[in-house]
Amino acid sequence: MKYSELDRTGLLQEQDRCRKTYEALKAQGLKLDMSRGKPGKQQLDMVSGILTILSDPADCLADGLEVRNYGGFSGLPSAKALFADILGCRPEECFVGGNASLNLMYDTISKAYTHGLLHSEKPWSKLEKVKFLCPAPGYDRHFRITESFGAELITVDMTTTGPDMDRVEALVKDPAVKGIWCVPKYSNPDGIIYSDETIQRFARLRPAAPDFVLMWDNAYCVHEFDGDFVPFPDILSLCREAGNADMVFEYASTSKITYPGGGISVMAASEANQKYMQKLMTVQTIGFDKVNQLRHVLYLKDKAGTLALMKKHAAIMKPKYRMVLDMLEREIEPLGIAEWQKPKGGYFVSVNTMDGIAGRTLELCKEAGVVMTPAGATYPYGVDPRDRNIRVAPSLPPVEELQQAMEIFCVSMRLAALEKLLAA
Ligand SMILES: Cc1ncc(COP(=O)(O)O)c(C=O)c1O
């Protein structure tokens, strides 16, 4: 029964039914959080071995470095080798940082503003105008970094193969366009893997700005929850081959491999970029936490070890995604009021409702005790022009709670759609 095919009486009857269901669920007084992509407790407990793997001080000598002491500014060599193995780049292209890749991303943009990047004519703060491309729906924290420095954010639509590349290629002809945010594998929130063609077009981009930066956030590089690891090209090699070696900065972290907040991160870039950036970075820190870097090397070992661990995460994650997708298929699909991707990795399910009801749906969810990512968050400036994208983050609640949360979510969306249709 598509809602669009119901007459007014049918809509009112359906509204009555949904309202009763909603009130009954609301009366349960639930308090559920599906707002951010956090691993659940079971996942955190599963990797507890990392807490004890380094207990003997004699093991703190690694790669010829005393990890408890200063030294090794750009990271433990074996931690660089670990990330290079995972990303497919070279160890010497890796800078291993602290517990948040977002911090390294912020720092790159911040340095572009204060000092300029390797090929900048001036620091961006000295320019009249800086524009930054934001594929949307996308990751709110990316958008906020560039917004906080005063860049004008330009929305580029996401397609099923990645950002709309015709638009990207046209926009980069403007020298004020200084970069783009990308989550190339299991994009946040759509869970889309950029196609080979999209990746090649990025590598071969010919921006007017000499210091255009491809912010390649490979946060979900090994995060399949359904099926085997999907190989992914190394963007650093592709850019180098296309004569754009210094255009790209790639980021990743172990936030959703071991602990968010207690993991390690990487910034991969050409050796020329590393030399330039590290000279600036030595002013701000003597180095990141090599003890934790060593713990991660001992625990994950290499790409194969990391992928084996990700299979265990997948076993916990998959039933949660199944639950979300099954509920949407059963409760929403026949009504024709929303569409969504069916990701096989990453941390989200991105739902596009009929226009104009995302905000109202989330308001109803909140009233019934379910907190979700705010409507609009996946768009620059927090404004979704069609008020339709909702990011569902199923990883944190246990499956039973997730089912209750999804029941509330589905009935809230139905009510929001009915309100809209009845008001038309
Ligand atoms: C695309 C993306 N990048 C980065 C992060 C944060 O990573 P980190 O914990 O390494 O700062 C997230 C977390 O949700 C994310 O979705």
pLDDT given at position 236: 98
Alpha helices by DSSP H, 328-398: 358-367
Whether 50 maps to a domain, the answer reads no
Q: At what angle do helices 77-87 and 290-300 cross, to 10 degrees?
A: 50
Look up residue 328 and give its DSSP letter.
Answer: I
Q: Is the N-terminal amide bond of 189 cis, ω within 30° of 0? A: yes
Span from the CA of 217 to the centroid of ligand 1 (angstroms): 8
Confidence (pTM): 0.97
Asked whether residue 71 falls in the same domain as residue 217, the answer is yes
List all residues 6 or more positions away from 309 whose beta carbon is below 8 Å from its beta carbon. 47, 257, 300
Residue whose Cα lies nearest atom 9 of ligand 1: it is 100
Residue whose Cα lies nearest atom 2 of ligand 1: it is 219
The CA distance from 140 to 360, in Å, is 20
The CA distance from 69 to 51, in Å, is 20
Alpha helices by DSSP H, 31-130: 41-46, 49-52, 77-87, 101-114
Asked whether residue 121 falls in the same domain as residue 153, the answer is yes
Residue ending a domain, among 277, 306, 335, is 306
β-partners of residue 159 are 162
* CATH code, 288: 3.40.640.10
Asked whether residue 379 falls in the same domain as residue 267, the answer is no
pLDDT given at position 36: 85
Span from the CA of 208 to the centroid of ligand 1 (angstroms): 29
Which atom in ligand 1 lies closest to the alpha carbon of residue 254?
10
Which atom in ligand 1 lies closest to the alpha carbon of residue 105?
11
* Selection from 163, 251, 259, 253 nearest residue 202 by Cα: 163
pLDDT given at position 330: 97
Asked whether residue 245 falls in the same domain as residue 185, the answer is yes
Residue ending a domain, among 291, 306, 321, is 306
β-partners of residue 267 are 95, 251
Asked whether residue 372 falls in the same domain as residue 387, the answer is yes
Residue ending a domain, among 282, 306, 330, is 306
Asked whether residue 230 falls in the same domain as residue 219, the answer is yes
Residue type, 271: E
Asked whether residue 369 falls in the same domain as residue 267, the answer is no
The CA distance from 338 to 356, in Å, is 11
The CA distance from 46 to 51, in Å, is 11
Asked whether residue 294 falls in the same domain as residue 385, the answer is no
Residues of the chain with pLDDT under 70: none
Residue whose Cα lies nearest atom 13 of ligand 1: it is 37
Please state the domain count of the chain.
Answer: 2
The CA distance from 79 to 96, in Å, is 7
Asked whether residue 321 falls in the same domain as residue 217, the answer is no
Whether 14 maps to a domain, the answer reads yes
The CA distance from 356 to 387, in Å, is 5
Whether 264 maps to a domain, the answer reads yes
Asked whether residue 302 falls in the same domain as residue 314, the answer is no
Span from the CA of 154 to the centroid of ligand 1 (angstroms): 21
pLDDT given at position 35: 87
Domain that holds residue 96: 57-306
Whether 179 maps to a domain, the answer reads yes
Asked whether residue 293 falls in the same domain as residue 353, the answer is no
**Where does ligand 1 bind, in terms of residues with CB under 6 Å?**
37, 100-102, 139, 183, 188, 217, 219, 253, 255, 260, 265
Could you report the per-residue pLDDT of 47-83, keeping only the tens digit for each?
Answer: 999 999 999 999 999 999 999 999 999 999 999 999 9
Span from the CA of 246 to the centroid of ligand 1 (angstroms): 23
Q: Choose one of 141, 223, 251, 258 to mutate for the ligand 1 pocket test, by most ligand atoms within 8 angstroms of C-beta.
A: 141
Q: Choose one of 143, 188, 218 to mutate for the ligand 1 pocket test, by most ligand atoms within 8 angstroms of C-beta.
A: 188
* CATH code, 31: 3.90.1150.10
